[in-house]
Structure 1
Amino acid sequence: MVFNGALMVGVANVSADACQYIACNPERLSSDQVLRLLFVFPFQQLRRLALCLWTFFCFPPSNPNSL
């Protein structure tokens, strides 16, 4: 599915402004900060989890008693 980038950014800006208005946040976050909080931060955490699982399942720790 192909998305229009400009439309997505516009919707994200309007949505961020609406959420901040509803939350009565006196200091508005920039759209860049909101997008980073909504997309970049969760994907960084998922990346860390995937790396941890990959390391655990694909390269199990060696047992020092088996040597």
Structure 2
Amino acid sequence: MSTEQKTWNESQNFCKQKGADLVIIDSKEEQGFIDLFNQPFWIGLSDKETEGTWKWVDGTIMSTQKV
């Protein structure tokens, strides 16, 4: 995680430069782990391709069934 404040795009680019990507949350356990940090940060979910269609950075469509 970075301690610098960045936009979503800047954060994604930062992660890619490090050989990583923004986090994909696909379980209640992962969501619980994220909640432990108790601070705001970007996750790998956006609707930048199509407004209202939320996709993870790996291209999968968000599902509320998983979490």
TM-score range, shorter chain: under 0.3
Larger proportion of helix? 1
Per the normalisation by structure 1, the TM-score is 0.25
Larger proportion of strand? 2
> Whose radius of gyration is greater, 1 or 2?
1
Per the normalisation by structure 2, the TM-score is 0.25
Determine which structure has greater relative contact order: mean sequence separation of CA pairs < 8 Å that are 6+ residues apart, divided by chain length.
2
